[in-house]
A and B are shown apart, each in its own frame.
Chain A
């Protein structure tokens, strides 16, 4: 002990603490870790036994360290593993490795390995989702069931602000308000139309389509993960995933060179016919195309300019589960807008379906619609700006739905 403190000298300082105390304080952290130099440990231990102030200081520091060490690992979200593997598969498929030889072989095989792994994890994620959301069932949005009745019938149901389809449409998104059955006032935001008419022809739409990914079991088409062309051989279960994850524009979220891309939007939708119909109707209404529906998800594409409309319509029936992407600011902004819309829509629906609304409630309804209109314009702007590439519609497992 003598040698150790001789190095620093022992003298009383103004605050009642000695130089020894100050030196000990510096050594407390490595002392906790038993990382002191030979000859330092004993004198520090001895000092702590005799100096109450340093002893207390040591206790606090030790507790601080213990608090951190006691923290349990956090569990990543249930879809993290699947998404990670999907992104890696995208990354691998997007690498500019020379064809042939080790590199190309590696690329192809790695891609396959990751797709299989992702498939397993997605199945698990959907299973968990079923447990978490098992109490919600179909019919959570009974008030909007008409959505499933198809675009033509739906349009006829509404008194619209923009009924004349030949009239030039405003840039952006147009709201159409429906007339409530048995009520004179209009109510219920029901339809959002894209700034441009939806273009259903595959040849025109496809190059600009955004990819919307949903997992599933259908295997009607196999995409060669390396060459990205349909192939007939090897129609394994992961083929659907290959199509989803390695879609033509699927370079993966967050590449620096394309900050506008890569947002992944997730909805959670019960797996029943009516719910799927709603999603499919919304997609088709705006010129999108359903590529396939499987056990756990559904895949569709839509022209970028129509994506906001599709999303709005799906949001009307199903709460968005979140937006993710390497482009944090974009994801945050999108998420916020979408959450606000979902929340306002809920309130709007409650007021609209009320039998005998008060004046205040009618005023509130009008306010809500105005806000919704603004938010939808914003959503459309964001969709165009960030070009949503993927929209995962995760379906509740069948177990979560009433037996039918």
Chain B
């Protein structure tokens, strides 16, 4: 049975450096995906994910293990995303789009060799990313944590440092806001 995250943290603190590599391996995709959904493009996602792991490395010795490692790393990831957005707002420079619609179309493959199902999946991907970008930061983050990362309400509350009641109400507002955007667009329903 593979060691738990918490066991790996302990091992790393005790000097077993391979344990840190294992933690990175376990979380790199998750963190990358969170960053990608938040920023909407690969270049930013890669940079933000790197920043998350650098912060994790810098502070892991001070991690008191009062929460799970998973909660802790998501907290760092959310903070990195927020910090970056704040910096950009100051510079009036928000995240840029990954691709123009025509590029996206080419890349996402108006490739007729792809099965219809795959094309639809890619279309949905593009479309949802487009809708997510229209949401305010807080709504986007809570949706990512709940729907994409599938965190329980309690863990979301810890990550966002708020009460479970706030998680419920914010999630409800975020879902409804997204639903309204989808409805207005008229593509999906």
A76 x B147 contact (CB < 8 A)? no
Given A105-B15, A110-B17, verify A29-B175 contact (CB < 8 Å): yes
A214 CB → nearest B CB, Å:
19
Find chain A residues with CB under 8 A from B146 CB: 33
Could you tell me the distance between the alpha carbons of A270 and B183 in the complex, rounded to whole angstroms?
A: 48
Find chain B residues with CB under 8 A from A74 CB: 32-33, 36, 42, 125
Could you tell me the distance between the alpha carbons of A74 and B28 in the complex, rounded to whole angstroms?
A: 12
* Chain B binder among A56-64, A151-159, A369-377: A56-64
A110 CB → nearest B CB, Å:
4
> Which residue on chain B has the smallest CB distance to residue A80?
B46
Find chain A residues with CB under 8 A from B42 CB: 74, 76-77
Find chain A residues with CB under 8 A from B29 CB: 73, 76
Interface residue? A338 (CB, 8 A)? no
* Docked complex: B45-91 residues within 8 A CB-CB of A: 45-47, 49-51, 53-54, 57-58, 84, 88, 91
Find chain A residues with CB under 8 A from B57 CB: 88, 91-92
We find that the number of chain B residues with CB closer than 8 angstroms to chain A is: 51
Interface residue? B159 (CB, 8 A)? no
Find chain B residues with CB under 8 A from A109 CB: 15, 17
Interface residue? A331 (CB, 8 A)? yes
Find chain B residues with CB under 8 A from A85 CB: 21, 24
A-B contact count (CB 8 A): 135
* Chain B binder among A189-197, A319-327, A378-386, A392-400: A319-327
Find chain B residues with CB under 8 A from A35 CB: 153, 168
A67 x B46 contact (CB < 8 A)? no
B124 CB → nearest A CB, Å:
7
B50 x A87 contact (CB < 8 A)? yes
B44 x A33 contact (CB < 8 A)? no
Please tell me which one of the listed residues B24, B124, B175 contacts residue A71 in the complex, with CB atoms under 8 A apart.
B124
Contact code string A221-254 (vs B, CB < 8 Å = 1, else 0): 0000000000000000000000000000000111
> Which residue on chain B has the smallest CB distance to residue A36?
B168
Contact code string B163-189 (vs A, CB < 8 Å = 1, else 0): 000001001100110110011000011
Find chain A residues with CB under 8 A from B36 CB: 74, 76
Chain A residues at the B interface, C-beta cutoff of 8 Å: 26, 28-30, 33, 35, 60-61, 63-65, 67-74, 76-77, 80-81, 83-85, 87-88, 91-92, 95, 102, 105-106, 109-110, 113-114, 117, 252-254, 322, 324-326, 328-329, 331-332, 335
